[in-house]
Structure formats: structure tokens, C-alpha cells
Amino acid sequence: MDKSIREKIIRAALVIVIMNLCSCDKELPKIQNPFENKDGNLILYVSNQSYETKIVDILVTIDDTPTLHEYFKVANQHLWKQFSLQLSQGRHKIKAVTWKGNAVIEQEFELNGKRWAVLNFCYGKQEGHMCNKPSFLFEVFDKPIRFL
């Protein structure tokens, strides 16, 4: 391989690595949420529940369709952002990815009537912490959720 081409490839790779390391300094791409509906049948709450990763980027897709991509701050751990979505009844797949938090979840769920769901990013270094490695927790409920 020509030396100048190899140098260009190495430079491009370094730029990509540096951009990923500095991910909280860049603006995330805007996503037009195709499921957004104020009277939706799925109320999704998303939160960062990790003091170890105070700000985390979260990209959510539903049925492989980009739905949201935002930064979430841990704040006092009692901060959930609500998204009202309209989905068809039946089986769906949610996927969440965070590059900064180094975690992925892919999980199927059933939508029968109106549902409420929580997607939490979780990580704690303390011994005995329920998330001893960066991870997502996702749960669907058939009744409204009450947060403390």
C-alpha cells in the first residue's frame, strides 16, 4: 500500500477515535420520531441512573426505526424523560445503545392496549450494586408508573 494512503487512513481512524472519546462535546444528530403522538399507546420513560456516568448518550430504536437520540444526565437519579409513542398492537423490538456508557440492550415486548415502559441506564462500581457493569434495564407495565 502506498505510504501516503496508509497515512491518510491512520489520520482518518484517529479522528474517528478522538470524536468518539469526546462524544459529550458534540451535538447529537436530530431524529424525527415517527412514533411521537401525545395520545400514544406507549408511554416510555428514559433515565440515566448512574452516578458513575453522569451524562450518557442514549440512542433508541423501535422495530429498527430510530426513535430518539439524546443526552441524559443523572441529576439526583429521580429524573425520567417521558416520550409518548403510538405503535401498532402486537410484538415489537426495542434497542438502546450508549457509546459513552458502553452498553446495549435489545428486547422484545408485547403491546396489547395502552402500556407504560421504563428504560434505565444503570451502572455502579460499589460492591453489590445491581448493575456492576454498564447496562440497560427495560420493563413494560399495564398500569401508569409512579416514580419516587
pTM of the model: 0.80
pLDDT at 15: 43
d(CA 96, CA 75): 20
pLDDT at 38: 97
In which residue ranges of the chain is pLDDT below 50?
Answer: 14-19, 21-23
Query: H-type helices in the chain, by residue range?
Result: 3-21
pLDDT at 14: 45
Residue 121 DSSP SS3: strand
Taking only the tens place, the pLDDT of each residue in 5-26 is: 666 566 555 444 444 544 455 7
pLDDT at 22: 47
pLDDT at 112: 96
